[in-house]
Structure 1
């Protein structure tokens, strides 16, 4: 009996010692973390301030352009080291938008460890790879069954099931991209806004009545073209995932991108790959605008005059124009970057 009481007393004493040691360690770590956060904030402010000073001196022609290029490259290298290393978690957190707060509430989604951030990024890339195949396979299956089994007339349920899957897909992409941006990934805001528009279109199109006979071919022409466009988008996504990821690995190795960046934006494919990718992207954007205009024509001509047709048509045209502008901006930025690299290379050779 006495032995049991002694053992219980020892366990209680060990628990108290463990509690005191844990509290002391957490207090010490909290103080060190505050110190590191202050240093990280100071470094971030210094990088921004020096960048502004260089731009100001360059605009006033008080600084040699070649020296300014070298200073900007060194400053960018320092920024990449800071945001891509283990100290990145101590940098000021990026703004967490309303979309995340709407789905997840007021919680911090910034990972405290770099390996967790990289795992989130790799999961996002895997999600894009999987959905690219489904983006190609799902509409291809519907169009094949339409010709072989359904006698040229799509039933309503498979089309609505496809639209529900699109809503799930774009919601997942938007959530993942917002989380990646909170963790330091450089994603163009347009792609996130594009997925918001696609979510709205998928939600509205679920209520779109898919009519059958009579005149099934004429009434479902917009659905057919939309499925064909989805197949083209699946092909483009596969090419983007392959080509852009290769280019991103190269940019990370050269210190021109951080490991949390994904395959959007200026990480487009290399020269030979762009000759394949860009025509497909522009063709897909033109076809997207054509489908949108066709839906508007179908609605205003009185063939199918539902409001969902008008809404989806306007959204498709808007997204096509936005995609075209963003692609052109990306190519221009890539061209300017190449010219800058050529000047730097020429200077090194001299």
Structure 2
């Protein structure tokens, strides 16, 4: 027993010694990393100051050029001395300034759009690490997948069961959260290099307005309108969104692999027209949704004047619905047209390479 206790104590002492040594090594590594980070931060701050100085010098060079053009000055110093090789000096400065501006563009803070500054304040939303950008994009895609089911369930429950004001309010509050989250995420992704068409972000802004204004419509008007097809349209829209997310997520892998999209680009309307033979179900449903959005806007505008008292909410919501329908349809049509032009140009270039007569 004494031998076992002695061996245990020796093992414990060895373990404590190794642990203390590992702790010391870890602390040294952490201190070195902290010093390197401080050095990097100092370099970035120094470069930002240098970029500002280059901008100031650039404005001075512009003033010198203006004076040279307007007054035909051969001497620009106060003592009348002529500066030799002024044009060469100016060229070298412009090249250095362009190089500094390119580096400064990569490290400068980005505050994003007005919507981002309104929600987050004037904070930097630029991410430096490529891995963090890809994580943001993956979280965005997961959010769309998770919420597509909820988008269908809310109106479906209201159709199947008699629901009152509370569930309707919760539905539109959730839509406010959904479209605000999409707009926020897409704005941040756009700042960090994702290729997102501006219309889809504006679409989310308009949808936020629709959800907010709809909550202020009186209950008697809301009930008569909801049972006339708006809830059924929401169900159709949710199904189309689910199919669209499913197809776009599959096509995005191929687009990244072939170099048509970067790893942080999100799936957009461009993926819907790359292989139209596989979209015999989705594309008709998509265009049907856009037509129904236009029709819903017209119906709501008509309801605003048919009611016993004029409803400004119905009028504005109807106009916003028509704007969304027209914007969605025109954006997809422009994408289809652009894709067809590119395909025809590629086909013509292939035929030109094959045929010697076309080359001549």
Shared fold (TM-score, shorter chain, > 0.5)? yes
Pairwise CA distance, 1:295:
1.2
Residues 1:326 and 1:190: Cα distance change in structure 2 (over 3 Å): same
Q: Which residue of 1 aligns with 2:39?
A: 27
**Aligned counterparts of 2:109 and 2:346: Cα–Cα separation in 1:** 31
Secondary structure at the aligned position of 1:125 is classed as helix
Return the match for 1:205 from 203, 214, 229: 214
1:324 and 2:336 aligned: no
**Aligned counterparts of 2:198 and 2:331: Cα–Cα separation in 1:** 10
Residues 1:24 and 1:227: Cα distance change in structure 2 (over 3 Å): closer
1:250 and 2:254 aligned: yes
CA RMSD of aligned residues (A): 3.3
Return the match for 2:239 from 235, 241, 245: 235
Larger RCO (CA under 8 A, 6+ residues apart): 1
Gaps in structure 2 of 5+ consecutive residues: 1-26, 52-102, 356-360
Q: Does the 8 Å CA contact 1:132/1:238 hold for their aligned counterparts? A: yes
TM-score with structure 2 length normalisation? 0.68
Pairwise CA distance, 1:340:
3.4
Pairwise CA distance, 1:26:
3.6
Pairwise CA distance, 1:179:
0.7
Pairwise CA distance, 1:133:
1.3
**Aligned counterparts of 2:126 and 2:339: Cα–Cα separation in 1:** 30
For residues 168-317 of structure 1, the aligned pairs below 5 Å read 168-211=177-220, 220-222=224-226, 224-268=228-272, 270-303=275-308, 305-317=310-322
For residues 16-95 of structure 1, the aligned pairs below 5 Å read 22-23=34-35, 26-27=38-39, 31=43, 90=106
For residues 109-128 of structure 1, the aligned pairs below 5 Å read 109-128=125-144
Q: Does the 8 Å CA contact 1:239/1:277 hold for their aligned counterparts? A: yes
Deviations 1:125-173 (A, max 9, x none): 111111111111211111011xxxx3xxx52221111111111110001
TM-score with structure 1 length normalisation? 0.70
Residues 1:21 and 1:263: Cα distance change in structure 2 (over 3 Å): closer
Larger radius of gyration: 2
**Aligned counterparts of 1:110 and 1:281: Cα–Cα separation in 2:** 34
For residues 124-163 of structure 1, the aligned pairs below 5 Å read 124-145=140-161, 150=162, 154-163=163-172
Q: Does the 8 Å CA contact 2:186/2:196 hold for their aligned counterparts? A: yes
Gaps in structure 1 of 5+ consecutive residues: 1-14, 39-86
**Aligned counterparts of 2:30 and 2:143: Cα–Cα separation in 1:** 43
Pairwise CA distance, 1:317:
0.9
Secondary structure at the aligned position of 1:106 is classed as coil
